[in-house]
């Protein structure tokens, strides 16, 4: 049940979604991979909106080049662990939040205990291998996930429902490209873009946690603004076509 303080804190959102849905958010548990640019747009809105538990995986430290887009951090955080700094920031933002930080990356060897008790996994990393791995794990374990990616002037959001009839990352991209994938460090990035993608991921996350459903679409952010395209399951997919 929501406390009196929670009802007051979330009062404007409750007017939109109702107390029952707000209580669903309070009971929800999410796993977030990365507290960088996308995570800086994603994490504060998850916390502020009343998601009850957030498990964060983030092994990196704050560097000067992060500060133009990773607004969880300030100049006096340079050299500090991102995860510890993010937990402190989010705990001040919402003291009701239950949060766990693990200073590790997400890989094939450590994921099993990390994913076992969450309702949704959110990817904000810049690691293409991690995105394919997360999609595979979501399908194999029937755990929904949302994958966020950015380029210098564009980004996309790919929901993976983790159930039959819904597309996985390999339905569209098939396999990890052989060539090196550009990153912020190699290609650059317009500073607000990761935050826009992260905020939209937070919005889609709340919708999912309340309704337990995804639309069959991929969301694209380009110079002209947002658009979405239908993303249907590929029965010939090399991975989810087997499930």
Nearest to residue 9, comparing CAs of 21, 22, 20? 22
| Tokens matching residue 128 | 């293409």
pLDDT of amino acid 177: 80
> What is the three-class DSSP state of 176?
coil
- DSSP-derived letter for residue 52 is S
For 43-52, how does the pLDDT look when each residue is reduced to its tens digit (9 = 90+)?
Answer: 999 999 999 9
| Tokens matching residue 19 | 């107390």
CATH topology of domain 4-242: Rossmann fold (3.40.50)
Nearest to residue 82, comparing CAs of 67, 95, 98? 67
Q: Which residue has the tokens 């590790």?
A: 104
For 162-193, how does the pLDDT look when each residue is reduced to its tens digit (9 = 90+)?
Answer: 988 999 999 988 888 877 777 777 788 899 99
Are the C-beta atoms of residues 128 and 106 closer than 8 Å to each other? Answer: no
Indicate the helix (H) or strand (E) that contains 33. strand 29-33
**How many separate helices (H) and strands (E) can be counted in the chain?**
10, 8
Q: Within the chain, which residues score under 50 in pLDDT?
A: none
Within 10 angstroms of residue 109's Cβ, the number of other Cβ atoms is 5
pLDDT of amino acid 122: 98
pLDDT of amino acid 152: 85
pLDDT of amino acid 243: 63
Per-domain residue ranges of the chain: 4-242
Within 10 angstroms of residue 121's Cβ, the number of other Cβ atoms is 27
């Amino acid at each position: 049940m929501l406390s009196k303080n929670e009802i007051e804190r979330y009062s404007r959102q409750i007017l939109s979604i109702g107390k029952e849905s707000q209580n669903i958010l309070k009971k929800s548990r999410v796993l977030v991979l990365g507290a960088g640019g996308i995570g800086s747009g994603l994490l504060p809105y998850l916390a502020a909106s009343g998601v009850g538990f957030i498990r964060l995986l983030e092994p990196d430290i704050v560097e000067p080049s992060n500060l133009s887009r990773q607004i969880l951090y300030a100049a006096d955080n340079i050299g500090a662990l991102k995860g510890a700094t993010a937990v402190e920031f989010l705990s001040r933002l919402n003291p009701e939040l239950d949060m766990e930080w693990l200073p590790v990356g997400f890989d094939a060897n450590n994921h099993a205990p990390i994913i076992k008790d969450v309702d949704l996994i959110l990817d904000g990393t810049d690691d293409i291998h991690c995105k394919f791995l997360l999609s595979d794990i979501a399908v194999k374990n029937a755990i929904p996930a949302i994958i966020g990616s950015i380029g210098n002037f564009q980004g996309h959001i790919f929901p993976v429902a983790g159930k039959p009839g819904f597309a996985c990352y390999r339905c569209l991209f098939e396999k990890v490209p052989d060539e090196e994938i550009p990153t912020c460090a190699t290609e650059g990035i317009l500073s607000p873009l990761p935050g826009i993608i992260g905020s939209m991921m937070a919005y889609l996350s709340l919708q999912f946690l309340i309704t337990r459903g995804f639309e069959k679409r991929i969301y694209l952010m380009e110079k002209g603004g947002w658009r979405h395209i239908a993303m249907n399951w590929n029965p010939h997919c090399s991975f989810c076509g087997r499930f």
